[in-house]
Amino acid sequence: MVKTMNPFDAEQLQLTLSFTNQGLYELNLQTQVVVVSPTYATMLGYDPHTFCETVESWRARLHPDDCERASSVFAAYVAGLIAEYSQEFRLRTAEGGWKWILSIGQIVDRDGKGRPLRMLGSHTDVTLLREHDQGLLQLNRELERRVADRTAALEWSQAALRKSEAHLRAAQRIALLGSWEFEAATEAIIWSDEIYRIFGRPITQGPPSFRELLAYYLPEDQQRHSTVVEQSLATGQAYMLELRLMRADGELRHIQVRGEPILDAQGKVQRLVGTVLDITERKRAEDEQQRLAARLALAIRSAAIGIWEWDVLSNVITWDERMYALYGVACVTPVSYEIWGNSIHPDDRILAHQAIQQAINGEKEFDTEFRVVHPDGTQRDIKAYGAVLRNAAGEPLRMIGVNFDVTERKRAEAERKAKSHQLAALNRELEAFAYSVSHDLRAPLRAIHGFSQALNEDYGQMLDAQAQDYLARIMAGAERMGMLIDDLLRLARVSRGEMDYRWVDLSQQVAQISADLQRQGPTRQVTWTITPEVYAWADANLLYVALQNLLANAWKFTSHHEQACITFGTTTQNGQAAYFIRDDGAGFDPAHQNKLFGVFQRLHDHHEFPGTGIGLATVQRIIARHGGQIWAEGALEQGATFYFTLPGRVSP
C-alpha cells in the first residue's frame, strides 16, 4: 500500500528517488505489513497503486540463492544480534527477471520492554553497479573482436552515459547526495561534484588524499572513520556512519557516509564505492526535537502525568513508568485493554468504556474521569485525555493520551463542599442568634430608655444637677447600645446572602449619599469633588452600604473644621485600578493603622467623634466579599484617604 502526500512534494521526492533508484519502506514489526513509496514498487515493475508488500511477500520474491542469507540477516537485526541492517539480495521483478537491491533499515520505535515495533528503511537498485564489472569485461572482449563494427555503438553508449551522469549530478544536487570511489591499492579518491559542495572544497583542487580527507573531520570522528574503512577493506562488509566535518569557511556540517566494497574475481576488495549525504538540517531538526522532548518530559514529570498508547489493531497498550505508578502495578506487568478495564472501579467501568467507544467512533474526544483500584485495594481518582490516530480511510489505528491523579483535588472539592454546607448552617444559626439577641436586648433597652425618659419628664425638676447628669448618661448609654446592636446586625447581614452583580454607577451613589449628609448639616461648609461616570461590577446594595460608611466617616471627621473638602475618584495602585475617598479632616496616627478595620476598634474618643467602631469593619467585609482589598493613608490633622479595589469586569 502506498501513502499519498502533497502533489508538489511528492513529485520532487519521486523525481529524486527515481534518479537515485531508491524506494522507501516502513515496516510494522507486529503486523508484518509494509508501507512503501511508489519508487519501491516501480523499480520492480509493479503498479504502485495496487502493489502490497508484507514480509512474507518479500521473502517469496527473493532469489533462491539469496533467500536463506537475506532472511537470516533480517531476523538477526530484528532480534538485536547485529547493530546495523544493510545487505544486498536479488528480487524477482513483475516481468520475472531479477534485480540486485541494496536494503538498508533501522528500527525507530520500541515498546516499553524494548521490543521493536517499527522499522524504516530504503531499497536501492544496484543492479548496474553489480553488473558493471562483468559488463566491462564482456565489452572489452567484444571490442577486441569487433572494434570497427562497434565504434558507433560505443559512441552512442558514451553519449547515453554522459546523459545519465548529468541526470545523476542533478539528482545528487537536489538530494544533497554525492558519490565517491576509493581505490584500495593506491588510496586514490574520486568525488562527484556534490561532495565538493558538501565539503566546501573547490573542484579545481581535485579530490583530497585519504589523510587530507580525515583532516576535514572533527578529531573525535577521525579515528572512527579510519577504523570503519579499514574493517570494510578487511572483511568486505558495507558500512554506514555519521560524521561531523569542518569546512574551510568554518561551517560545521553533519554527513552520513555509506560505503560498499567491490571485489575482484578472487574475492579481494578492489575498491570502495559509496555516498555522502548532507544531513545537517536533519540533525538540527533532531536536536530541536530532542530539546523540545526534554522540556516536555520535564513538564510531564513535574505535573506527574502518565502517558499511554493503545494499538487498536493488536490490542497492545504501552505505558510509561508514571502510568504504572498511577495504577499501582509493577512496570513489568503487561497491559491490554481488558487489563486496563478491570483496574477501573466497577461503578465507573461502563462510563469509561463508553468514553473510549465514543472516541473510537469519532463522536467526541476522550475526556473523562474514573476511579482505579490498586491491587492493595487503594482507590485513586484519575483524569484521562486521549486522541485517536486514524489511517487515510478514517479507520482507527491507535490512541494516545495522558492520565493524572486528581484524588487530592477531588478530596479537596469534597471537603470544600462540606465546609461550605457547614458555613451555611453556621450562618443560619448566627442569623437566628443575632435576631434573637437583638430582640432580647432591645426589650430591656427600650425599658431603660423609656423609664429614664419618663423619669426625666415627670420628676426632672425634683432632681439635683448630679442626678440629672446620671439620668442623661443612662439615656445616652441606652441610645448608644441601640446603635451598637444595629451596627452589629448590619455587619452580620453583609457577611451572608447571595451577591447580585451588576454595573453600578458609583458616582451617582456618592452624589446621593453626599446630598443626604449635606441635608443633615446644612450649615457646614464642605466642598464635594466627585469624578463622574465611575462604574464597577458589584453588588449595588452592599456597595452603597460601604460608600455610606466611608463618606459618613469623612463627613464626621471633618466636622471640627470650618471648611472641608471631600473627594471621590479613581487612581492606579500597583498596576491595578483603585477607587478612593479623601478628606482633609482629623486624620489618624499611621502607627495605629492596623487597628482601623477591626471590630470595636476606635482611634478617637467617642465623645469627640461619636460612633460604634463597626463601620470600617463592615466596609472591609463588603470589599472582601467582592474579592477586593481596602487600605488607608493618613496623618493626624492632615486628613485621610481610603482606597479600595473591586476586581472584575472592565467598565462598560
Pick the residue with more confidence: 401 or 559?
A: 401
CATH of the domain at 97: 3.30.450.20
- Whether residues 538 and 648 fall in one domain: yes
Query: 176-195: per-residue pLDDT in tens?
Result: 788 999 999 999 999 999 99
Query: 98-134: per-residue pLDDT in tens?
Result: 999 999 999 999 998 889 999 999 999 988 888 775 6
Integer angstrom CA distances of residue 411 from 369, 404, 418: 14, 15, 10
Residues contacting residue 338 through CB under 8 Å, at least 6 positions apart? none
Pick the residue with more confidence: 168 or 53?
A: 53
- Percent of the chain, pLDDT > 70? 80
- Whether residues 243 and 143 fall in one domain: yes
Integer angstrom CA distances of residue 334 from 105, 316, 338: 28, 9, 11
CATH of the domain at 595: 3.30.565.10
Query: Which one-letter DSSP state was computed for residue 44?
Result: T
- Is residue 296 in some structural domain? no
- Is residue 101 in some structural domain? yes
Select from 324, 414, 330 the least CA-distant residue to 372: 324
- Is residue 323 in some structural domain? yes
- Whether residues 112 and 32 fall in one domain: yes
- Is residue 536 in some structural domain? yes
**pLDDT confidence bin for 72, thresholds 50/70/90:** very high
- Whether residues 136 and 245 fall in one domain: yes
- Whether residues 431 and 546 fall in one domain: no
- Whether residues 442 and 492 fall in one domain: yes
**pLDDT confidence bin for 4, thresholds 50/70/90:** very low
Query: 220-242: per-residue pLDDT in tens?
Result: 999 999 999 999 999 999 999 99
* Residue after which a domain boundary falls, among 86, 108, 125: 125
Pick the residue with more confidence: 157 or 356?
A: 356
Residue 577 pLDDT: 86
Give the range of the structural domain holding residue 105, as residue numbers without chain letter: 7-125
Please name every residue paired with 403 in a beta bridge, in sequence order, or none if there are none: 306, 384
- Is residue 557 in some structural domain? yes
- Whether residues 246 and 175 fall in one domain: yes
- Is residue 298 in some structural domain? no
Select from 225, 163, 168, 162 the least CA-distant residue to 194: 168
Q: Interior CA angle at 595 toward 593 and 599, to 5°?
A: 145
Residue 76 pLDDT: 93
- Whether residues 453 and 570 fall in one domain: no
Residue 620 pLDDT: 85
* Residue after which a domain boundary falls, among 344, 377, 403: 403
- Is residue 214 in some structural domain? yes
- Is residue 297 in some structural domain? no
Query: 382-395: per-residue pLDDT in tens?
Result: 999 999 999 999 99
**pLDDT confidence bin for 595, thresholds 50/70/90:** low
Task: Give the three cell numbers for residue 134.
Answer: 562483468
* Residue after which a domain boundary falls, among 125, 154, 183: 125
Q: How many domains, in total, are found in the chain?
A: 5
Query: 522-557: per-residue pLDDT in tens?
Result: 888 899 999 999 999 988 888 888 898 899 888 888
Residue 8 pLDDT: 40
- Whether residues 220 and 340 fall in one domain: no
- Whether residues 492 and 502 fall in one domain: no
Query: 277-309: per-residue pLDDT in tens?
Result: 999 999 998 888 888 877 776 766 766 788 899
Query: 10-20: per-residue pLDDT in tens?
Result: 455 455 555 56
Select from 278, 280, 279, 276 the least CA-distant residue to 191: 276
Residue 433 pLDDT: 64
- Whether residues 514 and 458 fall in one domain: no
- Whether residues 511 and 587 fall in one domain: yes
Number of neighbours of residue 461 by Cβ within 10 angstroms: 8
Mean pLDDT for 256-266 is 92
CATH of the domain at 459: 1.10.287
Query: 143-170: per-residue pLDDT in tens?
Result: 777 766 666 666 766 765 666 666 566 6
Burial of 46 (0-12, 13-18, 19+ CB in 10 A): middle
Query: 462-503: per-residue pLDDT in tens?
Result: 888 888 887 877 877 677 666 666 656 665 666 566 778 889
Q: Interior CA angle at 36 toward 35 and 39, to 5°?
A: 170
Pick the residue with more confidence: 538 or 444?
A: 538
Q: How far is it, in rounded angstroms, from Cα 291 to Cα 303?
A: 18
Select from 405, 409, 386 the least CA-distant residue to 396: 386
